[in-house]
Amino acid sequence: MISEVLKDCFVQSFQNFSTKKAITFFREGKVETKISYHELDSDSNRMANKLRDIGVNKGDRVILFLPKSLPFVVAHLALQKIGAICVPLNPGFKKPEMTYFISDTNPRLVLAGTDQGPMIKEIDDKLPLVVFDTRKPYHEIDFFRSASDKAVRMEISPDDPALIIYTSGTTGKPKGAILTQRNLVHDANNIMQIWEITSSDVLCHALPLFHVHGLCFALHTSLMAGASVLMLDQFSPRAVIELLSKKEGEEACTVFMAVPSMYARLLDYLGEKNLDFSHMRLWTSGSAPLLPKDFQRIKTAFGKEPVEREGMSETGMNFSNPIRGVRKPGSIGLPLPGLSVRIVNPETFEDVVQGQVGEIWLKGPGITPGYWKKPRETEKAFVNGWFRTGDLGKVDNDRYYYLTDRIKHIIISGGENISPKEIENVINQLDDVAESSVVGVPDEKWGEKVAAAVVARPGSGLKPEDIRDFCKKHLLSWKCPKEVIFLDELPKNTMGKVLKEEVKKAFRT
């Protein structure tokens, strides 16, 4: 029987693949460090014992305010081994943001990089802090080197919290989604199963580590499967293409996980080059919608259709197109094993008929038990055990699911509910449009009016009236944008999700 505790799953993998390379870390596109599964196990034991020595215990929150690095990975594994709660945060957060996270989690310790450490001292000079110079080669970092490499004996149960992942909401204060040991193990096992991740795979890891995509879907899954991870310190189209196009040796990749904005940069970098990626087994896309026309561009450039999927900080991965079966562009695919799904009217809470749009509700072993220190928000998020995702969607006759919008993004103009996603889908059909974002902005007559921010392809000569005229051919007049602006790029978070509140600000200037 598979353990429902992450530590035990990792330890089993470390023992089974002890001599195999676990992670090869690349700095600025060049190999810096290679570490085996045995070394990863020993070093995370040393880190665990060191953290225990300085007072970190089971249930304590420890913030990882570190750049993407091997110390981040080893610290995360060590925290799982002692039952502490890992709180990974974006190393680019500013002082007001970090002040909130520190207040919200009341951490026992902060592990920070050299650029991040001074900020923590400014916020609270009494807060225990360990600063890692992650610019140094990994083996020159000696914080934990003298500690024992013996395994820590700690009773950890499946329902113990393992992670607090803060939601990337654009309004209000971020909420810390609690993910338990059971949540994380279930999620990793699901991904290993549906994507057939095995010890023969080599993952090109170009995602950040402070989000479930890079930390859970990519890293956890690879380490539990005994796969090899080629970890880049940051996303670079040149470095990624060089790795992905290598066909032989231990650096020959088989799997790549990314967000749509990363694929867009890779395609721009490739241009008219025709490279051979036939050795690649799996290309996945998530964390933000992939336009159907970009689905086709990826298929043409890389030789295989991408596998689109959907997940959330609160739930892990929920849906995926099959790797052996039909992949439908624009669809998030089929529910993962163990997940129950309802589509309901968000006002009456009654199930809608097939094909009709409603709010997606979920129930399963991967769902968060709630938000950290926020009982009211937790209560609002659940109805009779069903988690309200806040996503609007529908299901087709083949049981493939589609996201149509976020409830909070719906525009109410003249009493009519308007879906920004519907309008974006029309605008994005234009060949000269790279992407678009539709928002509601205040209007004295209608309450809100439809406004579209558009990123045009270079040299297109696209004009606002071109957008409005095209929309009038495909949409009711009250759905068409009343205002159109062009931006060089849409404001996005690190996972490629468009920041709608930032888009709205562009219409105030």
Q: Number of C-alpha atoms within 13 angstroms, CB side, residue 295?
A: 20
Pick from 220, 178, 227, 175: nearest CA to 199: 227
Q: What are the beta bridge partners of residue 112?
A: 65, 131
Distance separating alpha carbons of residues 81 and 152, to the nearest angstrom = 7
Residue 169 has pLDDT above 60, yes or no: no
Q: Strands 433-443 and 447-456, how do they pair?
A: antiparallel
323 in Cβ contact with 345 (< 8 Å): no
Long-range contacts made by residues 6-11, C-beta under 8 angstroms, separation at least 24? 6/80, 6/162, 6/181, 6/184, 6/185, 6/188, 6/220, 7/80, 7/81, 7/83, 7/154, 7/156, 7/181, 9/185, 9/188, 9/224, 10/41, 10/77, 10/80, 10/223, 10/224, 11/41, 11/151
Q: Are 14 and 47 in contact (CB under 8 A)?
A: no
Are the beta carbons of 426 and 470 closer than 8 angstroms? yes
Q: Are 366 and 186 in contact (CB under 8 A)?
A: yes
Mean pLDDT, all residues of the chain: 93
| In the block, residue with structure tokens 């968000």 | 346
Other C-beta atoms lying within 10 Å of the C-beta of residue 207: 26
CA distance 403 to 406: 8
How far out from the chain centre does Cα 432 lie?
29
Q: Are strands 386-395 and 358-363 parallel, antiparallel or unpaired?
A: antiparallel
Name the more confident of 167 and 2. Answer: 167
Residue 365's contacts (CB-CB under 8 Å, 6 or more residues apart) are 182, 183, 186, 338
pLDDT tens figures, 272-308: 888 999 999 999 998 878 888 889 999 999 999 999 9
CB 71 within 8 A of CB 134: yes
- Reported as a single tens digit per residue, the pLDDT across 345-370 is 998 999 999 999 999 999 999 999 99
Task: For 256-284, give the DSSP string.
Answer: EEE-HHHHHHHHHHHTT-----TT--EEE
- The enclosing H or E element of 23 equals strand 21-27
**What pLDDT, on a 0 to 100 scale, did the predictor assign at position 170?**
43
φ, ψ of residue 149 in degrees (nearest 5):
-100, 15
Residue 191, SS3 per DSSP = helix
pLDDT at 1: 52
Q: What share of the chain is helix, strand, coil (3-state, %, to 5)?
A: 30, 25, 40
Tokens describing residue 268: 């721009």
CB-based contacts of 495, cutoff 8 Å, min separation 6? 168, 208, 211, 213, 259, 287, 288
Q: What is the pLDDT of residues 392-401, one digit of tens each?
A: 999 999 999 9
Q: Is 410-506 the same fold as 6-394?
A: no
* pLDDT range class, residue 172, cuts 50, 70, 90: low
Q: For the segment 399-453, what is each residue's pLDDT rounded down to a tens digit?
A: 999 998 888 888 878 767 788 888 998 999 999 999 999 998 888 777 789 999 9
d(C-alpha 288, C-alpha 286), whole Å = 5
Report the CATH number of the 410-506 domain: 3.30.300.30
Classified as helix, coil or strand, 112 is: strand
pLDDT, tens digit, 9 for 90 and up, residues 68-104: 999 999 999 999 999 999 999 999 999 988 999 999 9
- The domains of the chain are located at 6-394, 410-506
- pTM reported for the whole predicted model: 0.88
| Helical pair 37-53 and 70-82, crossing angle rounded to 10 deg | 60
Beta-carbon count within 10 A of 160 CB: 19
Q: What angle do CA 31, 305, 239 make, to 5 degrees?
A: 20
pLDDT-wise least confident of 93-107, 116-130, 180-194, 486-500: 486-500
The torsion angles phi and psi of 2, rounded to 5 degrees, stand at -75, 135
**Domain spanning 6-394: CATH 3.40.960.10:** no
- The residue type found at 313 is S
Distance, CA of 21 to CA of 226 (rounded, Å): 9
- Alpha-carbon dihedral of residues 361, 363, 367, 371, nearest 10 degrees? 60
Torsions phi, psi for 375 (to 5 deg)? -65, -35
